[in-house]
Each structure stands twice: as structure tokens, then as C-alpha cells.
A and B are shown apart, each in its own frame.
Chain A
């Protein structure tokens, strides 16, 4: 009990100290996303390219467990295309009548299978640092999509005096400047289905945009509903103000 409390307290103290010690990464470069702003919308082609980058590069280590194949309809894919895409994955189902788990082809109602069966396996396969699930990454880091894009573009040669720990890579924008993930993108890492030139910057931008969609799939509905609601409320408030003036006018 005592040790637990002590541990918790140590955590409280450590977090204060940790804040002091954590060297912040360099300021993230701001990108002008199509979805930012009150009227912002996703760029479907960008999302589709981002999905391709995720599937061909990121998915080797990172899961996307809150995204179902059926959700990809929002990216502009048809029902048949989604069926086809989901069938390329094999998912674990069961138990069957013999009590065994079995693998079957994915269906649109399935979720993206994670590359590792659990976090411990993920950590074990990656030098102790489990690659985080990416579904919510764009909301789980300060800077959101700018953080993801910056991180993917932030791999450089370390400054002369910098000593990176064994197995870690130098990254300009990562807090502490060293990250367990080796640079995942290089030019032409994927061959885009729509023929766009796959520069590192293009891929980083596309996948960051795609991950914003996975984190906030209702962003467009939220924006368009918001514009209507706020306009309605402004008119309503105007009427209420006029009514209030009218009510009070006989007092003076």
C-alpha cells in the first residue's frame, strides 16, 4: 500500500520534473490542410493516397483498430471495391463448432487487423517499444496532423554533439529528438494508384490527412452542421434581442 502511494506520488513529482526535463521537439511546420477552418472538407484523393501509404508502409507495424472496412465508403470507394479490399485481409474469427479459432477472409464489417496479436507481442518485436495504434493519432498528439506530417519529415542526420541511444533515430520534431521508429518513408516507397509522384513529403502529407480522417471521421458533418446551427442561432438571438428590447421599451 505504502509503496503504491509512494509510487503514485513519485509519479506526480516525476511528471513535474518530467515536464522540466522533456526537451520539446522543434516547432512543427504548419501545413494548410483542406479540412481546417470552418468550411474545411477532406480531399478524397488525398485520403485514398493516404490509405495506400498506410496499407503499404505503416500497417507493417501499426494497427488501425477503430476503422472498419465499411468506413472506407467515406473515402469514395464503392461497396464492391470495399468488399474486394477487405477480402485481401485475413481476420481471426471463431471459435467454431470444434472450439478452434480460425482465419477467414475479411468482410466490410471487419476492422483493420492489427499487425501484432497484443501489445506485449508488439513490444517484443520492436525492441520493447510497441508501435501505437494509429486510429486516433491525429487527436492524441499536440499538433495533430501537423505532428504526424512533421514527424515523418523530421528524420535528419543528428547534430554533431547529439548522441542518440542505441536503436533510436534522430528526429527533429519528436519530443526528446530520438524516436524508436526508423524513418519509414523514402521517395517512391509506394507507387500511387492515381499516378501522383510519391515524394516523401507527398506521402507524409497524404497519410497525415488520412489519419485525421480516421481520428475524426465526422469532421465534415460537424463543420457543415455547425455552420447551419450557428447561423440559425445568430438569427434566433437577433430576434430574442429585438423581443427583449420591445418588452423593456415600456419601462422608461
Chain B
């Protein structure tokens, strides 16, 4: 814009002209940038989506050894009431040898209740192992059918392409058998 075809002016006129062009371009750029933001922001989660960001679960009907799936923010949450054997198996492992070293104690608030986001950390498939008859992988936990990731009874990655253990959502026990996720 500054190099217009107009004949040259000298001194002050030129300075004033350049200032005007710069100011116009600056205001235009600023205004456009500010105006574009609402367009982009409209694609972010909307108010009613954010309002549904927590889920409450009644744990009372779940028996030892039973696994259930609930939905939180559109994602499956695996809740596993683990048997003593499963807990023992998870705690017998040498933590340093794991692909993503983490002790079982750091993954649960109560040893009996394992609560995880049921999404494979590889590419987002949902691992098998929630229903009876599902393959549970070589470590008795979960097995992702997409690319063959094996998770153990603490939901830690043991074998296969997934880089991380299954993620733990933010949750708290509001009573002995009442779980609040979110």
C-alpha cells in the first residue's frame, strides 16, 4: 500500500501520507483479526456441552470382578471392581521395566476400584475386556483390537504400540459407593 503510483511529495506531506497508510493498514489488520476470532471460537465446546462435564455413578450394584462402562464427556469410562488376584497381579510387577512406569497405587484411590478413560492411547480405539468373553490380552487387563496393545489389570500398557497407560479421569468418591467423575 505504501508504494503507490502517486507522484512524490516532499518532506512533511510524505511522512503524513505514510503515517496514514500505516494507520489504515494497522487498523484494518487489527479489526480483521478481532473479527475472525468469533468465527473460530464458535467451534469450541459450547456452554451446554461444558455444563455436562461431570457424571455421577452409583457403585453399589457392581460385584467384585465386574467391569462396567459409563459415559463422561462422550468418552467411555471403564470402572473395574478388581478382585484381590487382579490387584496382586498389578502390584507384583517391577515398575521400572514398564513402557510407561507407574505404580498401581498411583493409579487408584481405592485399590478395589480402578477408574480409567477407556480409550487406547495409541490411536483412540476402545480396548476390549469390558464384557465377559472379550479378549483381555496377555496380562489379564484389556486388549486393543485395532493395533494389538495389551494392558494389564492396572490399565498399564505392557505390549504393543500404545505409548502410555490408559488415562485416569479426575474423580472422587463422594460416599463409599458414590463416584463423581469430572
Contact = CB atoms under 8 A, between A and B. Distances in A.
Interface of A: 68, 70, 108-109, 232-233, 235-236, 239-240, 242-243, 246-247, 250
Interface of B: 4, 6-7, 9, 16-17, 20-21, 23-24, 27-28, 31, 47-48, 51-52
A109 B51 contact: yes
B20 A242 contact: yes
3 cross-chain pairs, A with B, having the tightest CB-CB distances, nearest first: A109-B51, A243-B20, A236-B27
13 contacts: A70-B47, A70-B51, A109-B48, A235-B27, A236-B28, A236-B31, A239-B20, A240-B24, A246-B17, A246-B20, A247-B4, A247-B6, A250-B6
B140 to A, nearest CB: 27
Contacts of A109: 48, 51-52
A228 to B, nearest CB: 9
Contacts of A242: 20
Contacts of B24: 236, 239-240, 243
B7 A250 contact: yes
Nearest to B53: A109
A232 B52 CA distance: 37
Contacts of B28: 236
A135 to B, nearest CB: 14
Nearest to B16: A246
A68 B9 contact: no
B31 A232 contact: yes
Contacts of B31: 232-233, 236
Given A235-B27, A243-B20, A250 B9 contact: yes
A240 B24 CA distance: 6
A246 B52 CA distance: 56
Given A236-B28, A240-B24, 8 more contacts: A68-B51, A109-B52, A236-B31, A239-B23, A242-B20, A243-B20, A243-B24, A250-B7
A239 B25 CA distance: 10
A27 to B, nearest CB: 38
Contacts of B48: 68, 109
Contacts of B51: 68, 70, 108-109
Contacts of A243: 20-21, 23-24
A72 to B, nearest CB: 12
